[in-house]
Structure 1
Amino acid sequence: MSLVKKFMTVGGATLGSRLFGFARETAMAAALGTGPVADVFYAAFRFPNLFRRLFAEGAFNAAFVPLFSKEIEENGLDGAKRFSEEVFGVLFSVLMLITIVMELSMPLLVRFIIAPGFVDDADKFSLTVRLAVVMFPYLMCMSLTAMLSGMLNSLHHFFAAAVAPIFLNLVMISALVYALYHGAEPVDTAWYLSWSVLVAGVLQLLVVYIGVRHAGIRLGFRWPKFTPNVKRLLILAIPAAITGGVTQINLVIGQAIASSKEGAIAALQYADRIYQLPLGVVGVAVGVVLLPELARALKSGHEREASTIQNRSIEFVLFLTLPAAVGLWVLSDDIIRVLYERGAFTAHNTSVVGAILAWYGLGLPFFVMIKALQPGFYAREDTKTPMRFTGVSVVVNSGLSIALFPILQERGIAMAEAAAGLINTVLLFTMLLKRGHLQPDWPLLSRALRLLASALVMGAVLIALSGYFSPYLQPGAHFLHKTVALFVQIALAMVVYFGLAFAIGGADLGMLRRNLKRKPKVKANDG
């Protein structure tokens, strides 16, 4: 099975999840707009989401997958099952302790970390604490889900892990539909949503557990014991957790700074949801598939194959994210107007969120490139170097956010996050080059320049023709006219970009498939 097909499997499932996410955010925009209750809910939800990334996705994609793959290579499924049970027992116990401590500390966490700007508003502060208490156990469900997903990815069963997040959106949409149908007040809607998050966490855990059983592993519970393998996992996971959650760390920093302005947190969240579509579809797909592929190639001693896999993965990232970045920059206001501008979401909200989205879009290739570069370290069991670079990017993001927010408001926070992504990418790329772990070949360099040229031409065409579409995209225009105008622009952009990219040699699907196909010698070592 080629890497392209694996990218498409994970990316397709993730696309489905992101589309449901759009539906969810559209309903939330209509129900809550960028008002105070929207700020409260997103502030409360951001914290369990942060810890999910820190202790779950980042840590286990980076640390668990290489060790689990190694167990499969050396001791077969029985050894991998034993290792998984050891990890599960420790993880469950640690998560239970963290959940109890965080629940008891929630007022302090909201006051000093989650939303310091809410302290002067007793109602917002109290509601944020209570909603966060309801949603925080979601962390426990999602961390265990991440571990089981790591097992599935290592076993080349990608679909169940990729499709599980859809359930979060489905359950939250159901809660929103119920609230809108009954005309619920914003505060009641926030409560429905908070409980739906917890229910969704349980469903996601169930989906991947069934997937693991289907893959041939029946996990039993072991009392927590710090075996050598578990200690090695923890040594790798702690820095990887911090690194893997860099985007969420930056978002929490931005949220804390933005909490002093009403509506700013919700505005950042609405823009974040849109740029998460290409980030999720491409970034998650590449990160999930690339790490076990690199780990297996390196464990088998195939350094050259690992280098080829990473080069082609970077090509794949640039092929899809460069046009997405230009498109989000040029069409940001139009996208926001079509998706969100209705009900409590006004034309003024559109201009604010559109400006944020434009800067998020500019940083998109860097955010996704991080996902393609970090596995080059993780597959070699080096999680400390990316953590150091993450620390640098967090410092840059914090400094720029504090400096720019008083001047540019929410746009300043988005600009700071894009700059932090750029710096992190440069540091990762440079270190891989210095160590000889990444050797860019001529096809990569040549195609990257041609893809960039194609994306810039696409952007120029969209700007040149924007006058023809603007009458159909005015705030008072009919929704159908706005939707058709937006999709025509997107279709035109795709024709220009893909047509030019293939015409000038920036992309060649036949060659891409051949280069990304796993070599037989690596395949022979998969069992």
Structure 2
Amino acid sequence: MWRKAASVGGLTLLSRLFGFVRDVMMAALLGAGPLADAFMVAFRLPNHFRAIFAEGAFNAAFVPRYAHALERHGPAEAKAFAEDVLAITLAVQFVLLILALVFAPFVVALLAPGFTEEPGQIELTASLTRITFPYLLLISWMTLASGVLNAHDRFAAAASASILLNVCMIGGMLMSGLFPTVAHALAVGVLVSGFAQLGLVLWDLKRAGRSLRLKRPRITPHVRNFLRGFGPAVLGSGGVQIAMFADTILASFLPTGSVSYLYYADRLYQLPLAVVGIAIGTVLLPELARRLAANDGAGARDRLNRALEGAMLMTLPFVALFAAAPGPIVAALFGRGAFDAAAVEGSAAVLQAYAVGLPAVVALRCVTPGFHASGDTATPVKALAAATIVNVALKVLLVGSFFSAGLAFATSMGAWANLLLLTWLLRKRDGFAPDRRFALSMASLGLATAASAAAIRWSLGPAAGLKGLIPQFPDFAPAAFIGLLGIAAYAAIAAPGFLFARR
């Protein structure tokens, strides 16, 4: 399991490095002004719907059922099931695409109503949305093909596909002189990347001898079973997106740049989530599904314990860094060009608030597969509904006083509410039982995180003296010093604690 997760995580890390280059270029060229806000919303819209109809929701319903059909009925029936689901997916996505193209200004006004107060902002965002939205259909197709590959223990192509998104967006910015604005160049890069990502995964599918034909939609018993699981999964993903829609809606009423502050902080927050949480969750789902299908409940619980241990080991250093020194990190990565001191300060406040919920968000990527692997997509939806109420209510209460940072803090609290409720429910059904090794590991990691945060706070003074050591990147040396000291303090306690727990 860890070899597979390392493969997915390594490729995801490579994608994030390309994403870092992309975001540095975007920060320098777009900054955090009206043009940046317009592109952020146009980029978010297909990704909101992608999160609802593809990725998490789709994989939760599709992968266990495809694996079951493969195990019980053989490759031919599993292939037919995948082709039927593909036909239905493409038909639904095509209708959604037409509606989005026709009603783009209305959709933008609905999700970013504050833009109506700025002349031309709705029209600009709608024009960018019409370019980016076809990306959703292409990525939904790619997601299904990736699910088939994952069920056959092939993870590399799907994990590396996101690299192409960043490469295409970087290419768009390099050719921005050919477009009306940098935002239009980025939007075209997003669309081109959809074709590139789909092509990569279909090529790997063909190499694996698992190619899928396009055919007319059919509602078979397997498809009905999939739809019964997909409905609750979509509602669950929809709950997450409701909270994110609330961010976009409320941030559109805040001072110019607030949408961008959320975006840039989210890019840093997403690094450990993608490299650690998503990688482990991607591998854990088929692993748990196979063990539960073989009636190996004890093995499934052990895998979940080990997955949570590893996830927290790799996530908590980021928590200490983002909570104790968000300003130097944001300044080092994005603080140049059009990304001024106000943008650094606004993004740093959001990043600090996100850090509070980062452990919960990563842990959810491990706990939720414990339900999905057994075909239960309804229980996580019920837990998420309660968490979403907490999340949105806090957003409304905090946005007036803390602006975009209040939105991020509400997101963190919603994640903790969701995790605590799901963990309690999974323990009640004997799907999760923390063992001695898990308890000792968590205790040592808690101490290591506190020590790391204390070391980072102490280092802020000495680090300030290193500012400007590298003239081209004046904030890089302080951030590097802070990060290295924090990691050293973390490792000094976490390493012996982990070794003791394994005895």
TM range (shorter): over 0.9
Counterpart of 2:206?
213
Q: How does 1:230-241 map to 2 (within 5 A)?
A: 230-241=223-234
Gaps of 5+ in 1: 513-527
Secondary structure, counterpart of 2:328 in structure 1: helix
Q: Could you tell me whether the CA contact under 8 Å between 1:270 and 1:353 is conserved in 2? A: yes
**TM, length-normalised to structure 2:** 0.96
Cα distance between partner residues in 1 of 2:145 and 2:204: 8
Measured against aligned partners, the alpha-carbon deviations of 1:135-168 in whole angstroms (never above 9, x if no partner) come to: 1111101111111111111110010000001101
Counterpart of 2:146?
149
Q: Cα gap change, 1:173/1:247 in structure 2, threshold over 3 Å: closer, same or farther?
A: farther
Counterpart of 2:62?
64
Gaps of 5+ in 2: none
Deviation of the 1:245 alpha carbon: 5.4
**1:285 and 2:279 are equivalent in the alignment:** yes
Measured against aligned partners, the alpha-carbon deviations of 1:446-500 in whole angstroms (never above 9, x if no partner) come to: 11011111111111112122211112248x9834453123223222222221221
Counterpart of 1:257?
250
Secondary structure, counterpart of 2:278 in structure 1: helix
- Name the amino acid aligned to 1:188: T
Measured against aligned partners, the alpha-carbon deviations of 1:14-35 in whole angstroms (never above 9, x if no partner) come to: 1111111111111111011000
Deviation of the 1:75 alpha carbon: 2.2
Residue among 111, 114, 128 paired with 2:125: 128
**1:328 and 2:334 are equivalent in the alignment:** no
Q: Cα gap change, 1:268/1:15 in structure 2, threshold over 3 Å: closer, same or farther?
A: same
Cα distance between partner residues in 2 of 1:215 and 1:435: 37
Q: Which segment is superposed worse, 460-469 or 202-211?
A: 460-469
Counterpart of 1:164?
161
Deviation of the 1:248 alpha carbon: 4.0
Cα distance between partner residues in 2 of 1:246 and 1:316: 27
Q: Could you tell me whether the CA contact under 8 Å between 1:58 and 1:245 is conserved in 2? A: no
- Name the amino acid aligned to 2:156: F
Counterpart of 2:337?
343
**1:401 and 2:395 are equivalent in the alignment:** yes
Higher RCO (CA < 8 A, seq sep 6+): 1
Cα distance between partner residues in 2 of 1:89 and 1:363: 38
Q: Could you tell me whether the CA contact under 8 Å between 1:58 and 1:243 is conserved in 2? A: no
Q: CA RMSD in A?
A: 1.7
Q: How does 1:52-201 map to 2 (within 5 A)?
A: 52-112=50-110, 114-179=111-176, 182=177, 188-201=181-194
Measured against aligned partners, the alpha-carbon deviations of 1:412-462 in whole angstroms (never above 9, x if no partner) come to: 111111111110111111110111111111111111011111111111112
Deviation of the 1:103 alpha carbon: 2.1
Counterpart of 1:29?
27
Q: Could you tell me whether the CA contact under 8 Å between 2:261 and 2:343 is conserved in 1? A: yes
Secondary structure, counterpart of 2:441 in structure 1: helix
Counterpart of 1:224?
217
- Name the amino acid aligned to 1:384: A
**1:434 and 2:428 are equivalent in the alignment:** yes
Counterpart of 1:524?
none
Q: Could you tell me whether the CA contact under 8 Å between 2:470 and 2:477 is conserved in 1? A: no
Q: Could you tell me whether the CA contact under 8 Å between 1:319 and 1:507 is conserved in 2? A: no
Q: Which segment is superposed worse, 95-104 or 452-461?
A: 95-104
Q: Which segment is superposed worse, 100-109 or 21-30?
A: 100-109
Residue among 201, 204, 215 paired with 2:197: 204
Counterpart of 1:18?
16
Cα distance between partner residues in 2 of 1:409 and 1:415: 10
Counterpart of 1:506?
498
Q: Which segment is superposed worse, 14-23 or 462-471?
A: 462-471
Q: Which runs of 4+ in 1 moved over 3 A?
A: 244-249, 476-481
